[in-house]
Amino acid sequence: FTPDTIRNFSIIAHIDHGKSTLADRLLELTGTIAKKTSGKNEQVLDKLKVERERGITVKAQTASMIHKYGESNFLLNLIDTPGHVDFAWEVSRSLAACQGAVLLVDASQGVQAQSISVFHNARERGMKIIPVLNKIDLPASEPERIAEQMKATFGIDPSEILHISAKTGKGVEAVLEAIIDRIPAPQGAKEDPLKAFLFDSLYDRYRGVISLVSVQQGSIRKGDKIVSCHTRKRYEVTDVGIMHPEEVPTHCLNPGQVGYIACGMKQSAEAHVGDTLHRAGEKVDPLEGFKPAKAMVFAGIFPIENSEFPKLEESINRLTLTDRSVTVQRESSSALGQGCRLGFLGTLHMDVFRQRLEDEYDASVIVTSPTVPYKIIFMDGREKVVSNPTEFPEVTDSSTRVREVQEPVVKASMIVPEEYMGELMELCFQHRGENLEHRYLDAGAGRASRIIITCILPLSEIVTDFFDQLKSRSSGFASFDYEDAGYKKSDLAKMSFLLNGKPVDALAIIVHRSKQDATGRQWVKKLHQVIPKQLFEVPIQAAIGRKVIARETLKALRADVTAGLYGGHYERKMKHLENQKESKRKMKKMGSVELPQEAFFDMLSTK
């Protein structure tokens, strides 16, 4: 294939607008995968179990297909992108390898918060956008009205918009044609020195690291000696091919092509996303990389058994190879032992990572409650970013030389039907929202028109329960997106929890002063429910500095487990003792109090 017969594109959309379904249809139509007769949506590109379970695309996947159009065969490289706001980094990463994007909008739901953000992201990269209205088979779909909405929001000419049903396949052929007709061919000459852009990687148990590359110029073949601009390390290419949709070896990758290479990289860190690979002995200027992902939600991950730490760490390292936006640092806690502190783009990202860890590596873990990175500014002007409550100053007054504390804020945008406006405004205020603004998205008088609300919210509010509440208060109609809006001065404090007078480091949290009493009471109550009775009375306290905010007392347990069993029942007695031993094994000692793993789970899994 020469560049003029190659098209690199991605499908971008708000969550659930049908990307994976359309991708499947395109793969079927081009014969890349067999057509399903069962009529069930298998969604080939959603490979990970978590994706199938949650129905969201997490990891961007790539597939090549061949389509005959007119007299020629075209090589179409699809780069599938995830839809959720937490995964925006994955989206922009794959966008860098393509020249165009299919913008999919659900014709029954209309433009949603992330339709807007993905559109702007693609537009800023100078990509050609093919607007497509999906789900026109639904009785509730209103293609004409939504086309007008797209015109008002994006300035798209309604005559350019394709109308399809990814489910039934109606109109999908026209999408393939539009990709070929409207998206520009990639540039780059075969004779030029090799420049390959590394945009993703996966780990294969047998072959080590497999890198996904987009060849910008020159060509790459088996046996080539290549060098990474980032690490200056040298490798020999041992395998090269395209994703069709699984790896299919080819003898080379030419300019404009997207495919995989294996070159004996052993360590995840060697495949640096955004790196440029070139041929040994040739000099090239590296391609412009990416803005690195910024982790905004941090949590500690600990093994249940301390001895399992090396295995856990190894599993985490493997997983971070497929998801480079996760940051990893070692952490040790007096309560939970050795663990890792991980940074994520958002809470969904964190949940998905934990689930993948459990699924793929059979690891059971304790995750501490999520925190955002806070900025501590000292009297002398020094700044420190703290992403672990244990590093947060006990009190932040002049005696500790802290001048102020700042927290990250975001610019949030929500799109809802007009009747929910009041509810959502209130929700934003409750979550310390500021600079609230709203405007109408479409001027459809007399119809259920939609409004877009924007405001500045502290990120920590979103990290807890904002999203769930938004969904329930808008009966599921609200869509939500946010972008970084820097840091803002805030009145925050570290809240510690004490069991039997001893603080448990892994439970500490950062709270806004206006919410300290309510939060303290709530957590103490919860702890009281989950901690099993001990042989002695245990006070449970929430404190800020030396000041106790809330307290509950756990009454002492009287009898031991074998009491009430008579001498004759030897076996039963042994069984009880054994059971007790078993649950002892899973205990984490918190101060002098034994806390079973389940209690920890319960405590940390609900906010």
Q: Shortest Cβ distance from residue 451 to ligand GTP (Å)?
A: 24
Q: How far is CA 230 from CA 96, 198, 262, 435, in A?
A: 18, 11, 17, 42
Q: Per CB under 6 A, does 55 bind ligand GTP?
A: yes
Q: How far is CA 56 from CA 35, 91, 199, 506, 535, in A?
A: 22, 13, 21, 31, 47
Nearer to ligand GTP, 169 or 545 (CB): 169
* Residue of the chain from 166, 335, 542, 550 that contacts ligand GTP (CB under 6 A): 166
* Residue of the chain from 3, 9, 12, 20 that contacts ligand GTP (CB under 6 A): 20
Nearer to ligand GTP, 83 or 337 (CB): 83
Q: Shortest Cβ distance from residue 74 to ligand GTP (Å)?
A: 24
Q: Per CB under 6 A, does 402 bind ligand GTP?
A: no
Q: Per CB under 6 A, does 17 bind ligand GTP?
A: yes
Q: Shortest Cβ distance from residue 56 to ligand GTP (Å)?
A: 4
Greatest extent of the chain over all pairs of C-alpha atoms, in Å? 91
Return d(Cα 428, Cα 436) in angstroms, integer.
8
Q: Per CB under 6 A, does 167 bind ligand GTP?
A: yes
- Evaluate whether 167 touches 36 at the Cβ level (below 8 Å): no
Nearer to ligand GTP, 104 or 603 (CB): 104
Return d(Cα 258, Cα 113) in angstroms, integer.
30
Reduced to 3 states (helix: H, G, I; strand: E, B; else coil), residue 69 is strand
Q: Per CB under 6 A, does 351 bind ligand GTP?
A: no
- Evaluate whether 60 touches 71 at the Cβ level (below 8 Å): no
- Evaluate whether 135 touches 18 at the Cβ level (below 8 Å): yes
* Residue of the chain from 3, 18, 100, 370 that contacts ligand GTP (CB under 6 A): 18
Burial code of 515-532, b = ≥16 C-beta within 10 A, e = fewer? ebeebbeebbebbeebbe
* Residue of the chain from 56, 287, 321, 350 that contacts ligand GTP (CB under 6 A): 56
Return d(Cα 254, Cα 479) in angstroms, integer.
41
* Residue of the chain from 28, 66, 123, 137 that contacts ligand GTP (CB under 6 A): 137
Reduced to 3 states (helix: H, G, I; strand: E, B; else coil), residue 515 is helix
Return d(Cα 358, Cα 600) in angstroms, integer.
17
Q: Per CB under 6 A, does 431 bind ligand GTP?
A: no
By CB under 6 A, which span of 14-22, 505-513, 567-575, 578-586 interacts with ligand GTP?
14-22
Number of residues in the chain: 607
Q: Per CB under 6 A, does 349 bind ligand GTP?
A: no
Q: Shortest Cβ distance from residue 162 to ligand GTP (Å)?
A: 12
Return the ∠ at Cα 204 (arms to 198 and 209), rounded to 5°: 35
Q: Per CB under 6 A, does 163 bind ligand GTP?
A: no
Q: Shortest Cβ distance from residue 112 to ligand GTP (Å)?
A: 11
By CB under 6 A, which span of 134-142, 219-227, 291-299, 417-425 interacts with ligand GTP?
134-142
Task: Give the orientation angle of helix 143-154 with respect to helix 113-124, to 10 degrees.
Answer: 50
* Residue of the chain from 99, 134, 257, 268 that contacts ligand GTP (CB under 6 A): 134
* Residue of the chain from 12, 13, 326, 542 that contacts ligand GTP (CB under 6 A): 13
Q: Shortest Cβ distance from residue 427 to ligand GTP (Å)?
A: 24
Copy the structure tokens of residue 432: 């310390």
Q: Shortest Cβ distance from residue 166 to ligand GTP (Å)?
A: 4
For residue 463, the 8-state DSSP code is I
Give the number of other Cβ atoms within 10 Å of residue 228's Cβ.
21
Which positions lie near ligand GTP, rule CB under 6 A?
A: 13, 15-21, 41, 55-57, 83, 134-135, 137-138, 165-167
